[in-house]
Structure 1
Amino acid sequence: MTTAIAPELSVSEWLNAAAPLTLAALRGRPVLLHAFQMLCPGCVSHGTPQTQRAHDMFKNTDLQVIGLHTVFEHHEAMKPVSLKAFVHENKLTFPIGVDTPGEDTPIPVTMASYGMRGTPTMILIRRNGTVYHHGFGQQDDMAVGAMIASVLTET
């Protein structure tokens, strides 16, 4: 847990969103941010399905679930057109942003600003905009549910 304000998202394109989302505009609501790559085995088998379940489970709360497709390898295979097919085939309904490619580096902008080690990465942001949890790799469903419940009850 930290008291640092979560860095703003840098997104080049949105899927499943009527308008671009910003953390600044979402201040006052907790945010579950799931960073993934569609060719990441752990993302496909666990992280993305878990995020969809969280989106479905907490849809009647003010939790905002956001996916972040953050490509740091196999760039040519994971273009937005491929991501759109992936989202459709996997029936993902939460908003998904495409992390802005880095300049002169394979690491995308948001991935770098959060210091992510890879994918999947789950970041849970409190209502006040601070990072509550920053987890790399598979996250236990029970732990994720407990953390979400905790941030939902914070005032």
Structure 2
Amino acid sequence: MPNHFPEAPALQVSRWLNTDTALTLESLRGRVVVMHAFQMLCPACVTHGLPQAKKTRQLFAEKDVAVIGLHTVFEHHDVMTPAALEAFVREYRYVFPIGIDTPAQGSIPATMREYQLQGTPSVVLIDRQGRIRLSRFGVIDDMALGAAIGQLAAEDAPTTLVTRPSAEAEAAGPEGCDDDGCRAGGA
């Protein structure tokens, strides 16, 4: 059966945060890539997209799933500078690699244009062979995204789900309850 999934275009990133080496899709080949395109002044990005990327990084093993952010600025250029982004990333404690999309002529940055993204937040899933399997503009449900990632990761290799209690759950103590659940006493 012929392959009907398009090859993911190269990332056109002018600078990377949270990594010592520039990432390429070739360097991530063999893993499912979850790319969250965002702007730091986009309300849905701040309340949903970026927290979702952070959770995805925590739940899936890095050997199976690579999570990257793409700061793709198409408005408010004068305030969304690399220095402002660095402070934003530090304040929100995002540790996954974040690329700054290369500005292009006009208002749409280079990678955003190549991927034909409609806006932010956007999620792009790239399979282990480097093909785009999902490109979605807007908020995507956590369960739906997790299922899609799991399906892609299971296509060619087993995925390890990393389960860690949240910091809030650990801080609540053995008998405390919080939004993550209630711990049984003495367990």
* TM-score computed with the length of structure 2 as normaliser: 0.80
Question: Could you list the per-position Cα deviations for residues 54-109 of structure 1 after superposition, in whole angstroms to 9, with x for gaps in the alignment?
Answer: 00111354211000000000001100000001001111010000000012x11100
Answer whether contact 2:31 2:63 (CA < 8 A) is retained.
no
Amino acid at match of 1:55: R
CA distance in 2, matches of 1:61, 1:95: 15
The 3-state SS of whatever aligns with 1:111 is helix
By relative contact order (CA 8 Å, sep 6+), the higher-ranking structure is 1
Structure 2 alignment gaps of length 5 or more: 157-187
**Equivalences, count:** 153
1:41 to 34, 40, 43: 43
Aligned to 1:131: 132
The structure whose residues are more often helix, as a share, is 1
CA distance in 2, matches of 1:144, 1:61: 18
CA distance in 2, matches of 1:60, 1:119: 25
CA distance in 1, matches of 2:137, 2:34: 14
* TM-score computed with the length of structure 1 as normaliser: 0.96
Structure 1 alignment gaps of length 5 or more: none
Alignment of 1:17-32 (within 5 A): 17-32=19-34
In percent, how many aligned pairs have the same letter? 52
Alignment of 1:76-91 (within 5 A): 76-91=78-93
Question: Could you list the per-position Cα deviations for residues 6-60 of structure 1 after superposition, in whole angstroms to 9, with x for gaps in the alignment?
Answer: 1110000000012000002212211000000000000000000000000011135
CA distance in 2, matches of 1:136, 1:61: 26
CA distance in 1, matches of 2:28, 2:151: 18
